[in-house]
Amino acid sequence: MSFNLMMQPPTLRPGDDLAQYFIVFEYYCSSVKASDQVKRHLLLSAINNNLKWALQDKDCNLYEVEYEVLKERALRHKDSGQHAERRRDELIGRVQLPGESSREFVYALRALGDIAYRNGSDAALRNEMLYVTLLRGLHDRRLANSIPSLIKYSRDFASAAQMVIDHTSSPVIEVAAVESNTPDMGLILKKLEAMEIRTLQRTDELTRNISAMEAEISTLKRTNEQLRYSPVHSGERRCFECNRPGHFKRECPFLGTTGAKARGPKGQRSMTSCISRHADLTRSKRQRTIPSRARKQQIQPGVVNKPVNSRSSSAPAPARFVSLLKQMFTS
């Protein structure tokens, strides 16, 4: 690769290695035969403000610092500048990943904070960013909401992280914290007994819950069986011919047979065949108790072949009219 004066100096892009960048930059400066002052100006024009702030130690004006001093500071603070800015962006958006434990999430946040905020002057900002990110990215929202009150609203990341670790620690880790060379074995035995008691309590509680759930499942099964085999179900279709469930009238096997309507399911008599209407009973009673006038006249003693009505026994009206005309002409 060759350079000339018409070409711009190589710029430092995000993620570039500073050592590799200085190799390319010095090769460019040697190609254009740049002096140390020109190198200094080209370097300061090629880097961004974040790296400039990292290079500015106690000097107010970086353009008065020698090029070799700037190069040494840049290589010493190679994790600063754009790399640190990327780490800060990653820290802000960091959340607990699927399958990642709370302990691993705390350790990852702590490592990112050490890289993103190396300067001692950023300790307060580092603590605040880690504290906010921990509460926002933790999966256990109940624990995250209770941490501020547990640490008395001190907004201390170390206390919050220790609270998360203690909450997710198991009794095995608590026993492992005891030193192996402890002469008093009674302490270890007490811890083991406490573990056994807690385990039995949890087991009893789980057993009671399982028994209650099994009883509830059995009740639901019995209810389901009763509803399944009950003779009448709400909303099921019925035949208008035989009043039996399970089919329509056009599919009725008793269609056209006698007695299909008179009997319902399981041989029971229908309501229409068992109960007569009140009007029918009244009419039948009236027919039995009140005989007709003609019947009364027939059953009277001493009256034989007496017509019931003169109109009914006389000849029809046209015949009578004709007989009257004949009598008039003959007379």
Break the chain into its structural domains and give their ranges. 18-80, 84-169, 172-179+187-207
Is residue 222 pLDDT above 50, yes or no? Answer: yes
> For residue 102, is pLDDT > 80?
yes
Query: What pLDDT score was predicted for residue 310?
Result: 47
Contact 198, 174 (CB under 8 A): no
Is the separation of the CB atoms in 94 and 137 below 8 Å?
A: yes
In which band, very low, low, confident or very high, does the pLDDT at 76 lie, cut at 50, 70 and 90?
A: confident
Per-residue model confidence as pLDDT tens digits over 155-213: 999 999 998 988 876 544 444 444 445 456 677 777 888 888 888 888 887 888 888 88
d(CA 41, CA 34): 10
What pLDDT is recorded for position 15? Answer: 64
Least confident of 147-161, 291-305, 313-327: 291-305
Check: CB of residue 74 under 8 Å from CB of residue 51: yes
Select the more confidently predicted residue: 30 or 80. 30
Determine contact, residues 165/106, Cβ cutoff 8 Å: yes
> How high is the pLDDT of residue 314?
53
Q: What percent of the chain has pLDDT over 90?
A: 6
Going by pLDDT thresholds of 50, 70 and 90, the confidence category of residue 300 is low
Would you state the structure tokens that stand for residue 70, as one six-digit string? Answer: 């700037």
Mean pLDDT of 284-293: 52
So what's the pLDDT on residue 136? 92
Across all residues in the chain, what is the average pLDDT?
73
pLDDT digits (tens, 9 = 90+) for 117-170: 876 667 888 889 899 999 999 988 888 999 998 888 889 999 999 989 888 765
Choose between 257 and 287: higher pLDDT.
257
Q: pLDDT band for 326, please (50, 70, 90 cuts).
A: confident
- Of 313 and 33, which is predicted with more confidence? 33
Would you state the pLDDT for residue 1? 47
Assign 5 a pLDDT band (cuts: 50, 70, 90): low
Q: How confident is residue 91, by pLDDT bands cut at 50, 70 and 90? A: confident
Please tell me the predicted confidence (pLDDT) of residue 131. Answer: 92
What pLDDT does 58 receive?
66
The pairs formed by 128-136 with CB atoms below 8 angstroms and a separation of 24 or more are 128/155, 129/88, 129/91, 129/92, 130/91, 130/157, 130/161, 131/155, 131/156, 131/157, 131/160, 133/91, 133/92, 133/94, 133/109, 134/105, 134/106, 134/109, 134/160, 134/161, 134/164, 135/160, 136/95
79 vs 254: which has the higher pLDDT: 254
- Report CA dihedral (254, 257, 258, 259) to the nearest 10 degrees: -10
- CA neighbor of 55 nearest in space, from 36, 37, 77: 77
Q: What is the pLDDT of residue 27?
A: 84
Q: What is the pTM of this model?
A: 0.33
Length of the chain: 331
Q: What pLDDT score was predicted for residue 284?
A: 52
Give the tens place of pLDDT for each residue, 225-252.
877 766 555 566 778 888 888 788 888 8
- Rounded to an integer, the average pLDDT of 57-77 is 78
